[in-house]
Every structure is written in C-alpha cells, then in structure tokens.
C-alpha cells in the first residue's frame, strides 16, 4: 500500500528552512521563517527564560501528566496577559483556556472545536494570510472563504473592502483576524478601525477568532492588545489563539493557548469540556516545560520587567533593521518607493517582490524569503542588510 503514496509538496515556510539547511553556499541568508535573530545572527535564549529555567530546575520535579487543558495557573496568567489583569473578562471568570502546543496547536484545537460544535460554519480568513492557516482549518474540516485585506497599489490595509466584505458574512460563520503584526503583510488596523471591525463582526452575528502570536512586536505588550480588547466587550464571545514562540523566544518548547471567552461565566464549564474533548483525542494533554517558564516569568515582578525589556530590545532592533533596509535600497537607487517597509509592524515585511524575483533571490543570491514576497526583517543584521539590498536591487532590475 505505501508504494502508492506520493510525496507531499514542501511547506511554504518551513520547507524553505529545510532547503536553506541543505544549501552549501556560505553566503546564504535565511529570511523566511519568522524567527528572531540578534545583530550577530543568533536566536538568543532570553535571559528571563534562562533565569526561570534555573528556578524551575531547583524546584521539585514532577513528571506526571498535566490536566487536559494544562495547569489552571497558566490559563489564568495567559488571560491576564492578553486582556489585562483588571479586565472584566478576567474578573468575571467568563473565559476558558487550554494550554496548547504552540499557537499552531491553539488554532488546530479551535478548528476541531468549531467542527465538533458548529458543523455548518464557514471560517473567513484575510487575503493574504499565514499559509498554514488554511492548512490547519482544512485539516480540522472547517470550510473556508476569504475577505480582502491588503491593497497592493498603496501597500496598505484595504479597510473599506474589508469592512464591506465583513458586512456580507452570514450570521453564524466565524472570522479569523490577526491580533497584531498581520502575517504576512505587517499591516494592522488602527485602534479606531479595530472598533469598527468589532462593531461589524458582532453586528453580523459572526464569531471572531484572533490569532495572537506577536504581542509586543509592534508597539508594546499592552498596546498590541488593543485589537483583541476591542472585541472583549461585555457579554461578547470570542476565541483567542496565543503563541509564546516569538515574544518569549520559546519556539521549540511549543507553548501557546486557546482561550474561549463566553458571554456568561456559567457557560465556561461546558465550553471547557468541549475543548478538553477535542484535545484528549489529539495530543491528550500538553507538554509542561514551556508553559512553566511563561508562568514563572509572568508571576514574578522582576522577571516580568526583565522580559518586557527583552521584548522591547527585539522590537527596537527589528524596527532599526526596517529603516536600514530602506536606507540601503534608497542608496542603491532601487526603482520604487520602499518607505512602506518602515510603516509595517512586527517581524515581517511584505516586500512586493514577485514569485520570480523571490526565486531569483534564492537561486542566484542564496537569499531565502517566502514565495509571497514576505521578508523576515528579524533575520536582517547590520552585516547582511547591504548584501540583501544589493540582491534586491539586482532582481528588481530584471523583468518580473
């Protein structure tokens, strides 16, 4: 039987990292997967994480199973980080949280939860979106449609078209939004636009799902929650998929969470039981280590402020590299206006490079970026940015 199985196509993002590893050219640069690198091209383990791990190692070790939704104190702290400790959603205890293996795990549990409880629902995604979004929800059996998001002509949010599309979504469907640092475009709604989006979504009777993977990478931990909090209205329901891969640098520990905010606290038990049901037949219960680190840091005021400082350092370095990339492109007189790169937020820049140009960057310059033209700005360093700008200048000069 197995002889009949055909090879699957490589993953749009992680497939590139696999190809990068095989590439023997010493000058190669990986700007594909969203992983932060410091100015020396290293992905650091945060000092707050190391300190938390030392404390955990010194404490008594327990290796028995966690509960299906993870440790309750982790769920509490995840909600406090997303909504704010004093927020009504937290205070009224009307949200259920499951600790999941990464943000991807949170999205998959959300997909399984939707299929199990709302089999006729369609999920609406932004065009474009993270290439793994359709993979995850299709695997979970959720039908998909898309709404417009990006205006190619202006390199900005196509807000009118987005809002008009939301106003056509049938009641009882769900919509997936990027809580901040939209992946791949790096373009987010303004706080006022978030309010209008929430008005439209709730006005239509549509269930919002916020993918919240980059808190702290745009303006700050609190500021970046403004979109999510626009949805956290009294009595309103929403799903939040958190990831701590980027803002804690815990990529390989696979630590995330799915939070479902219910209209009333008395619905939490039923919702939690349905989450538990889909988790139990998937990975049974979560891996402990990453969540223990996050919990330790966020519950200790010293480690918490050290961590916030480290997130600010990553954010500032990325923004500095945005500026350096633009300066270098201007200096090389690359045709086109690239100033939009400094207006984008988070790890990524949607460069506008075509598929062919992306391919040429890889084959002729050993520079790996995602096929959509998405550049991981967090992979640029003072020593590679000029080389990248030079390569872009060469491919932009070629016919698309």
Supply 349's token pair.
Answer: 């820049």
CB of 130 to ligand LMR, least distance (A): 5
Least distance (Å) between residue 206 CB and ligand LMR: 25
Both tokens assigned to 61: 């070790």
Nearer to ligand LMR, 135 or 354 (CB): 135
- Could you tell me the two tokens for 15? 């497939």
Provide the binding-site residues for ligand LMR, judged by CB under 6 A.
13, 33-34, 130, 132, 183
DSSP, residue by residue, 112-144:
HHHHHH-TT--EEEEES--THHHHHHHHTT--E
Listed residue (56, 95, 82) closest to 235, CA to CA: 95
CB of 10 to ligand LMR, least distance (A): 13
Tell me whether residue 328 or residue 376 sits nearer to ligand LMR (CB atom).
376
3-state secondary structure of 224: helix
Position with the least CB separation from ligand LMR = 34
Is residue 377 classed exposed, middle or buried when 0-12, 13-18 and 19+ CB atoms within 10 A define those classes? buried
Question: Cβ neighbours of residue 81 under 8 Å, at least 6 residues apart?
Answer: 215, 221, 242, 298
For the bound state, the minimum distance from the C-beta of residue 282 to ligand LMR, rounded and expressed in Å, comes to: 18
Runs of H (alpha helix) within the chain: 14-22, 47-58, 72-83, 88-91, 102-117, 132-139, 159-166, 191-204, 226-231, 268-280, 289-298, 301-331, 340-343, 355-365, 385-396
Q: Distance (Å, rounded) from C-alpha 227 to C-alpha 346?
A: 15
Nearer to ligand LMR, 198 or 311 (CB): 311
The span from the CA of 223 to the CA of 365, in Å, is 38
Token pair of 19 as six digits: 């190809």
Nearer to ligand LMR, 94 or 178 (CB): 178
CB closer to ligand LMR out of 197 and 213: 213
d(C-alpha 318, C-alpha 38), whole Å: 9
**Rounded CA gap, 34 and 379, in Å?**
8
Q: Give the Cα separation of 275 and 279 in Å (integer).
A: 6
Least CB distance to ligand LMR at residue 343 (A): 20
Q: Which residues are catalytic?
A: 130, 211, 246
Q: How far apart are CA 108 and CA 134, in angstroms?
A: 11
Q: Considering the complex, state which of residue 252 and residue 280 has its C-beta at the smaller distance from ligand LMR.
A: 252
What CA–CA distance (Å, rounded) separates 217 from 312?
8
Least distance between ligand LMR and beta carbon 13 (Å): 4
Residue 248 CB, shortest distance to ligand LMR, in Å, is 14
Q: Which is nearer to ligand LMR, 75 or 379 (CB)?
A: 379
């Amino acid at each position: 039987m197995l002889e009949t199985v055909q090879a699957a196509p490589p993953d749009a993002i992680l497939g590139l990292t696999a190809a990068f590893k095989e590439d023997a050219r010493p000058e190669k640069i990986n700007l594909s997967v969203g992983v932060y690198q410091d100015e020396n091209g290293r992905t650091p383990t945060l000092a707050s994480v190391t300190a938390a791990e030392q404390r955990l190692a010194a404490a008594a070790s327990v290796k028995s199973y966690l509960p299906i939704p993870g440790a309750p104190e982790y769920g509490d702290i995840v909600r406090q980080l997303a909504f704010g400790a004093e927020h009504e959603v937290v205070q009224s205890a009307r949200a259920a949280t499951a600790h999941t293996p990464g943000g991807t795990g949170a999205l998959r549990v959300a997909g399984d939860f939707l299929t199990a409880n709302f089999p006729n629902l369609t999920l609406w995604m932004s065009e474009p979106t993270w290439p793994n979004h359709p993979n995850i929800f299709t695997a979970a059996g959720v039908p998909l449609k898309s709404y417009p998001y990006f205006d190619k002509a202006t390199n900005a949010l196509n807000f009118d078209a987005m809002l008009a599309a939301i106003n056509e979504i049938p009641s009882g469907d769900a919509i997936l939004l990027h809580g901040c640092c939209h992946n791949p475009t790096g373009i987010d709604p303004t706080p006022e636009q978030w309010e209008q989006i929430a008005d439209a979504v709730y006005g239509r009777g549509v269930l919002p799902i916020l993918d919240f993977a980059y808190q702290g990478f745009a303006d700050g931990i609190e500021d970046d929650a403004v979109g999510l909090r626009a949805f956290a209205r009294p009595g309103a329901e929403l799903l939040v998929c958190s990831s701590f891969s980027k803002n804690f640098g815990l990529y390989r520990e696979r630590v995330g969470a799915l939070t479902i905010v219910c209209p009333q606290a008395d619905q939490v038990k039923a919702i939690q039981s349905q989450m538990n049901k889909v988790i139990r037949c998937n990975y049974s219960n979560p891996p402990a280590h990453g969540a223990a680190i996050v919990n330790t840091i966020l519950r200790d005021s010293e480690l918490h402020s050290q961590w916030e400082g480290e997130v600010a350092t990553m954010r500032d370095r990325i923004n500095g590299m945005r500026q350096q990339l633009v300066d270098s492109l201007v200096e090389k007189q690359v045709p086109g206006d690239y100033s939009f790169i400094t207006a984008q937020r988070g790890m990524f820049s949607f460069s506008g490079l075509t598929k062919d140009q992306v391919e040429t960057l890889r084959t002729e310059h050993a520079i790996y970026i995602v096929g959509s033209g998405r550049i991981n700005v967090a992979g640029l360093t003072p020593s590679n940015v000029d080389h990248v700008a030079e390569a872009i200048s060469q491919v932009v000069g070629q016919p698309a």
